[in-house]
A and B are shown apart, each in its own frame.
Chain A
Amino acid sequence: MLSYMVRRLLTAVPVMGVVALVVFSLLYLTPGDPAQVLAGDTATPEQIAQIRAALGLDEHAPLRFARWLWHVVQGDLGVSIFSGEPVTHMIGQRLAPTFSLLLLAVIISVGIGVPFGVAAAARPGSWLDWALTTFTTLGFSLPAFIAGYGLAFLFATTLKWLPVQGFVPLSEGPALWLRNLILPAVTLSLVYAAIIGRVTRASVVDVLSEDYIRTARAKGIAPRVILFRHALKNAAVPVVTIIGIGAATLIGSAVITENVFAIPGVGRLTVDAILHRDYPVIQGVVLMLSAAYVLVNVAVDLSYTFLDPRIRY
């Protein structure tokens, strides 16, 4: 298993390299460059040309890529064209808010979605099942920003229980940190909890119709024992897969939530960088994202071997 992990992590390197190349090419093909955005709407063509020359954007593209790659290998992600700050520093500053948000959202979603899904699968057709369908559909069909506005309007503006926006680092107190994160985390977790709930339910329902479950029932084993000892582990694979995929998806949805609640996270950094064509930041963030996805997927794949011993690599 260890060798499997090492193999996976090693193969991650060429993947990240290819991703970097693809993103670089995408940026190369995309019209607009940071010099123009920097210069702003009211700049003259000469000013833009000056800036472009100073930024080294006139350089041959493959050369620029090679130089960037060389620095990355040495651990230097370069410097933001807009702020002049090191990309690693910028990403580092933004990681804590995004990570806090994602962590809380995952906890809420899994904590609500899995139990709800299991309970609904144990009683298909009941009011609980119906409630799951309704709530999960609500979760899917409410765009994050609408849910966000609604929650903020209710809990922040009207009831004044929670703040409207902002992020407070954990270092300033866990209560404050939590207080600022609840609304955004709930907003983010709505969709996620919905999908986890549904997949859990679907998967458990499938497993419960297996022959060995029927046998267990025929043997007179108590329903709860059947559920927890026999069914859940076998149903777990799709659920864990979804949790893994969803964790990755969350990063994308986090962008909107970070926008609505003004959380200074990586999501906003990415969108701003893309709109500004801040190449080093875009490339640095995508590289980091691909590393994150690789890690999450390795973890998910490894968990399969625990959950279902028949799966081997």
Chain B
Amino acid sequence: MKRRKFLRGASLAGAALPFLGRPTLAQKNAARTLKIIHNGNLASLDPIWTTAPPTKDYAFLTFDQLLAVDSKYVPHPQMAEGWTFEDDGRTFVLGLREGLKFHDGEPVRSADCIASIQRWGARDGFGQLAMRFVDTFEAIDDRRFRIKLKKSFPLLPAALGKSNSSQCFIMPERMAKVDPMKQVTETIGSGPYRFLKEEFVSGAKAAWAKFDGYIPRKEPVDSIAGGRIPAVDRIEWAFISDPSTAMAALIAGEQDYWDAPTLDLVPVMKADPNIVVSPRNPTGSYYMLQLNHTQPPFNNPKVRQALAMAIDQSQFLKSAVSDPALLKPCYGYYGSDSPYASEEGAEILKTKSIEKAKAALKEAGYAGEKVVILGVMENPTLAAMSQVAEDLMRRMGMNVQLVAMDFATMAQRRTSKEPTDKGGWSMFVTAWTGSDIVNPAVHQMLRAGGPTAWFGWPNDPEMEALRDQWANTATAEAQKKPAIALQVQAFKTLPYIPLGSLVSLVAYRKNLTGVFPCPVAAYWNIGKS
């Protein structure tokens, strides 16, 4: 009796499911809301304090920049009306556009810009380099200011307008005066969208409303330059970490845009007529095998070169995705969209022969020293490539061990300069974006100053000299030569081994308009029809 009643009740309940109430007007104008599945939790709201990508994406919506580079990395005015160099390039004068306002209604003033530049210059690498050239800042009036330089620094506009972290975002003076080692807590910027702090749940939900006081430029968008038109009334971010769920949500129409779809799921989305999959970020992700230059066996350049001979980039790239259109080998130390992209010096990386590598290894005097690979398992692509690396070195006859760990553990362990049996390491796989490796100033892994270099600590005075030469060369044309010479030298020293690149795709519903190519996740200009 009980059972029958129960079964009857259950089937009634089941039949009632479809009628449980479709979301109706609780949607706050779904038609004008852009719902984005964002990759990576948004935690910190201070783009100067942290380089975390979600914070950068937040900042591009909430704040604005004085200058912005286009797809050829040429800086253009953004908040600025224009700029000039005077005094043989020793004075930089910039004027702001008319009518620029912050989200609290206050106008943007020179003082705000100066304080923001100073805060940015305290933390960012390129910014720190720029600050070394700066003598003083002077506000001429509320809309114009002047930067006096100790020496000519033609790269200043490129620094101010750069597209990779940390970008120089303009904040109100009171926010910019916050100690760069502490986080700002306010969210007032002058960008096309206004952050709705009251709706923010860190790691769960973030929302913006269109800023009516924003005056976009008239030019069409070209990378981060051009008019940043807020084309929807509201933007919402959802953080869905499970790829299957994210895809299902996109297909069901619960979300409009997925900014980092799992590459293997792309065929399913491409088959859906309502979904567009396209490479929005032309720069892609570049993968690298970082080596420890301070410990055996990779402290021996000949062993590094032997490894480079065995590496076949396509094997590494194929471990992440089957579709050949999505993988692009890159035999160079700069991204393929960099002005310095070339394959000069890359012959060693094109050898692709385990036999030759084994012979070279013997010649190098490799005596079975243990290779410890730090394998980060949270990221499936890095995990796959770490396993390919382990497999490759084993076939080369090296004594290799892959240690699986989470990112935080890896971040800790790679600071160790100890031998591998004392908690040290020999290699790990890492990924950077194209804009991170576009020139010797931003490219951290081309620094070869030994202890001052990035993890791995390559030490090559020749490379450092070439880098300085590049920084001090006056014209863009002339800079090509030292940049390429730097690459040729890098192929001898092998600070790291390039593994090629994977195309970055985004997936979005067909009814979105204005999605434009861009190296960062920029959500302006995108509307819903």
A and B directly contacting (CB within 8 A): yes
Interface positions of A (Cβ within 8 A of B): 30-34, 36-45, 47-48, 50-51, 53-54, 80, 82-85, 90, 93-94, 115, 119, 128, 145, 149, 152-153, 155-157, 160-166, 168, 172-173, 175-176, 178-179, 182, 259-262, 264, 268-269, 272, 275-277
Q: Is the CB of A37 within 8 A of B51?
A: no
Q: Is the CB of A84 within 8 A of B251?
A: no
The answer to whether B406 has its CB under 8 Å from any CB of chain A is: yes
> Complex formed: what's the CA distance from A168 to B24 in Å?
13
| Known A162-B17, A276-B408; contact A176-B26, beta-carbon cutoff 8 A | yes
Residues of B within 8 A of A182 (CB): 17
Q: Is the CB of A82 within 8 A of B44?
A: yes
The contact sample of 14 A-B pairs, CB cut-off 8 A, is A31-B409, A33-B412, A39-B51, A44-B444, A45-B454, A53-B181, A156-B252, A164-B245, A173-B26, A175-B21, A264-B203, A268-B204, A275-B378, A275-B407
> Complex formed: what's the CA distance from A156 to B255 in Å?
14
Q: Is the CB of B202 within 8 A of A83?
A: yes
Residues of A within 8 A of B431 (CB): 41
B321-347, CB < 8 A from A: none
The answer to whether B39 has its CB under 8 Å from any CB of chain A is: no
The answer to whether B20 has its CB under 8 Å from any CB of chain A is: yes
Q: Is the CB of B242 within 8 A of A43?
A: no
> Complex formed: what's the CA distance from A272 to B406 in Å?
12
Total B residues in contact with A, Cβ cutoff 8 Å: 60
Count, A-B residue pairs, CB within 8 A: 160
Option from A93, A160, A161, A173 in Cβ contact (under 8 Å) with B204: A93
Q: Is the CB of A30 within 8 A of B409?
A: yes
> Complex formed: what's the CA distance from A260 to B247 in Å?
12
Give me 15 other A-B pairs in contact (C-beta within 8 A), A53-B181, A166-B238, A268-B203 excluded. Answer: A30-B409, A31-B408, A36-B415, A38-B44, A44-B444, A45-B455, A83-B44, A84-B45, A157-B248, A157-B251, A161-B17, A161-B18, A179-B20, A259-B242, A264-B201
Q: Is the CB of A264 within 8 A of B204?
A: yes
> Complex formed: what's the CA distance from A269 to B52 in Å?
18
The answer to whether B183 has its CB under 8 Å from any CB of chain A is: yes
Q: Is the CB of B411 within 8 A of A80?
A: no
B377-412, CB < 8 A from A: 378, 406-412
Interface positions of B (Cβ within 8 A of A): 2-3, 6, 17-18, 20-21, 23, 26, 41, 43-46, 50-53, 123, 125, 165, 181-183, 185, 201-205, 238-242, 244-246, 248-249, 251-252, 254, 378, 406-413, 415, 430-432, 436, 444, 454-455
Residues of B within 8 A of A115 (CB): 2-3, 6
Option from A128, A165, A173, A259 in Cβ contact (under 8 Å) with B254: A165
Option from A45, A84, A85 in Cβ contact (under 8 Å) with B415: A45
Q: Is the CB of B43 within 8 A of A37?
A: no
Residues of A within 8 A of B201 (CB): 93-94, 264
Chain A facing B: main interface SS: helix
> Complex formed: what's the CA distance from A41 to B2 in Å?
60
Q: Considering residues B23, B181, B239, B415, which has the most beta carbons from chain A within 10 angstroms of its beta carbon?
A: B23
| Known A161-B17, A264-B203; contact A36-B412, beta-carbon cutoff 8 A | yes
Residues of B within 8 A of A261 (CB): 245
Residues of B within 8 A of A36 (CB): 408, 411-412, 415
The minimal Cβ–Cβ distance linking B55 to chain A, given in whole angstroms, is 10
Residues of B within 8 A of A47 (CB): 123
Residue of B nearest to A145 (CB): B242
Residues of A within 8 A of B50 (CB): 38-40
Residue of A nearest to B445 (CB): A42
7 closest A-B pairs by CB: A32-B408, A264-B204, A175-B21, A36-B411, A82-B43, A54-B181, A31-B412
> Complex formed: what's the CA distance from A160 to B26 in Å?
19
| Known A262-B239, A275-B378, A275-B408; contact A164-B248, beta-carbon cutoff 8 A | yes
Residue of B nearest to A31 (CB): B412
The minimal Cβ–Cβ distance linking A238 to chain B, given in whole angstroms, is 21
